[in-house]
């Protein structure tokens, strides 16, 4: 039964009832936020968002069920135990993301920490609703009690799901959001202790001091979170960080070490200025050299850093370059950041270049004008969202946007490190209707052996038709050798990547996991 309360004046009783409804609202708000924060963090670090969101939800729900089940054996001092649960939840939930960041970079305990945090938070959340429902018995009838508690709990959950993608992630980031909501969670303990002060006596005073102490700890971590994040970032990257920001889509980080400028998206290296020309010449100059027609209009999907566009601008025959990138902050940085402008030669500001902020898949669906060359310079398929941009359906859309005698080239990851993913991409492009596919690869020291797929609707005569004078890396002999694969890199049996069956994601993650273990 709920704790016995002294007879209260109607106003005091109403105040306590409102306090418990507030607790239900904040509990619903924080519970979803913690779940989203943990799942997103693990997905950022380990990839495979579907796997880790599914696993997080499963662990979370199982732990909540355990908490709810255990609550029936707690029969006395419900108010005090509820306050203690909220203090613990505020502290554990608040420091969960800083703890995951720390274990990822400094220990081998990332997975155990992730599981323990998820189960602990889920268990404590499982205690909340049963406790609140029983505490409300003295204030409302059973049907009103359950209706009000669940309604405000679900309302809090709704607000959390809206706030997370549109405010918390782009404005505060994951690290600071967890600390902020740890404090918000502990506000439940604070308002309950104030509202029920007369019922708790000395125990209430001790819990007040505990709440204040734990709130100060979490607040201290929040106030110094920027410095902590800088230290964490520096532990993760080799060079000095010259720019770092969280956008609605990704974490963008630029590092500088002597003459080496590096771009990382969500901690994954995108280029090193020491050897990026090898990658971008292979991506752009290969199709341009072998094209037997005039290339007037070019579509570049991804490549918001402007480096692929820089290579395209070496060809006067090109009349228009349309660059499509999802993240406006990436293209803005490529146009304004001195480090990036210095190596992309202000390519995105050129009069021939049109920058479109859109999802590549969506752009291909609605575009009405065909292109002579399509360049897919997209991040590797390390998430479900990215794997769809390597699907049969995506390449079918690309085909509809290509002139009948046009060319398409796709960066296709490493044929050595992620061999099944590379050959799956090549097979998928052919299955999408590109009858003629020409896989090729080259060595980029920062990445190792890296692969591409040149494709067309008509045969391509691999005879050079344009000069390579502007190249720093390629010549006719090296280009010819790029289409030759050694025995250990040759094509293997793989499946076609589909939107509803993203096999390339499994191929990619399983292969990298083998080399990283």
Residues with catalytic function:
377
Q: Give dist(CA 453, CA 440) in Å, integer.
A: 6
Q: Give dist(CA 486, CA 25) in Å, integer.
A: 61
Q: Residue 1, class by beta-carbon neighbours within 10 Å (0-12 exposed, 13-18 middle, 19+ buried)? A: exposed
On whether the CB atoms of residues 2 and 134 are closer than 8 A, the answer is yes
Among 20, 7, 137, 21, smallest CA distance to 83 is for: 20
Beta bridge partners of 501: 498
> How wide is the angle at C-alpha 153 spanned by C-alphas 81 and 163, nearest 5°?
115
- Helix or strand or coil: residue 236? helix
Q: Give dist(CA 83, CA 87) in Å, integer.
A: 6
Hunting for tokens 């509809």 — which residue is that? 400
**Structure token pair of residue 57:** 């939800």
Chain centre to alpha carbon of residue 435: 34
Strands in 328-370 per DSSP E: 353-357
Helix/strand/coil (H/E/C) assignment for every residue in 46-90: HCCHHHHHHHHHHHHHHHHHHHHHHHCCCCCCHHHHHHHHHHHHH
Q: Give dist(CA 281, CA 278) in Å, integer.
A: 5
Q: Give dist(CA 401, CA 365) in Å, integer.
A: 9
Alpha-helical segments (H) within 224-337: 225-236, 276-290, 307-312, 328-336
Q: Give dist(CA 100, CA 177) in Å, integer.
A: 14
On whether the CB atoms of residues 87 and 186 are closer than 8 A, the answer is yes
């Amino acid at each position: 039964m709920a704790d016995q309360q002294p007879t209260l004046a109607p106003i005091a009783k109403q105040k306590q009832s409102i306090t418990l409804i507030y607790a239900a609202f904040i509990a619903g708000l924080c519970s979803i936020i913690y779940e989203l924060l943990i799942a997103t963090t693990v997905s950022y670090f380990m990839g495979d968002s579907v796997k880790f969101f599914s696993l997080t939800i499963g662990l979370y729900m199982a732990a909540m069920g355990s908490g709810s089940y255990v609550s029936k054996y707690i029969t006395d001092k419900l108010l005090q135990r509820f306050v203690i649960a909220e203090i613990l939840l505020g502290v554990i939930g608040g420091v969960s993301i800083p703890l995951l960041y720390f274990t990822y970079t400094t220990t081998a305990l990332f997975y155990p920490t992730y599981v323990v945090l998820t189960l602990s938070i889920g268990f404590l959340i499982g205690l909340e609703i049963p406790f609140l429902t029983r505490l409300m018995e003295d204030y409302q009838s059973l049907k009103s009690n359950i209706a009000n508690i669940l309604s405000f709990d679900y309302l809090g959950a709704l607000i959390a799901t809206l706030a997370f993608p549109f405010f918390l992630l782009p404005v505060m980031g994951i690290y600071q959001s967890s600390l902020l909501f740890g404090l918000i969670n502990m506000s439940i303990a604070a308002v309950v202790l104030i509202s029920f002060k007369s019922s708790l006596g000395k125990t209430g005073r001790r819990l007040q001091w505990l709440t204040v102490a734990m709130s100060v700890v979490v607040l201290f971590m929040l106030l110094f979170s920027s410095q902590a994040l800088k230290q964490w970032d520096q532990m993760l990257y080799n060079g000095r960080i010259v720019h770092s920001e969280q956008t609605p889509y990704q974490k963008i980080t630029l590092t500088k070490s002597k003459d080496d400028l590096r771009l990382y998206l969500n901690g994954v290296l995108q280029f090193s200025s020491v050897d990026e020309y090898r990658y971008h010449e292979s991506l752009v100059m290969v199709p341009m050299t072998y094209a037997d027609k005039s290339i007037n209009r070019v579509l570049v999907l991804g490549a918001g850093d402007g480096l692929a566009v820089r290579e395209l601008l070496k060809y006067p025959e090109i009349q228009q370059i349309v660059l499509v990138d999802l993240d406006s902050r990436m293209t803005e940085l490529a146009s304004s950041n001195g480090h990036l402008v210095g190596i992309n030669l202000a390519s995105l500001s050129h009069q021939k270049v049109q920058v479109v902020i859109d999802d590549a898949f969506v752009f291909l669906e609605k575009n009405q004008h065909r292109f002579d060359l399509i360049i897919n310079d997209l991040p590797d398929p390390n998430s479900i969202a990215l794997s769809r941009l390597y699907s049969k359906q995506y390449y079918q859309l690309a085909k509809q946007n290509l002139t009948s005698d046009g060319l398409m080239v796709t960066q296709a990851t490493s044929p050595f490190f992620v061999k099944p993913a590379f050959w799956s991409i090549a097979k998928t492009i052919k299955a999408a209707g590109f009858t003629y596919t020409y896989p090729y690869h080259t060595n980029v020291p920062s990445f190792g052996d890296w692969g591409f797929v040149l494709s067309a609707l008509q045969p391509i005569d691999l005879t050079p038709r344009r000069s390579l004078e502007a190249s720093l890396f390629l010549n006719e002999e090296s280009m010819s050798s790029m289409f030759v694969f050694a025995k250990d890199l040759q094509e293997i049996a793989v499946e076609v990547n589909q939107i509803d069956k993203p096999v390339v994601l499994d191929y990619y993650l399983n292969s990298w996991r083998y080399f990283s273990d």
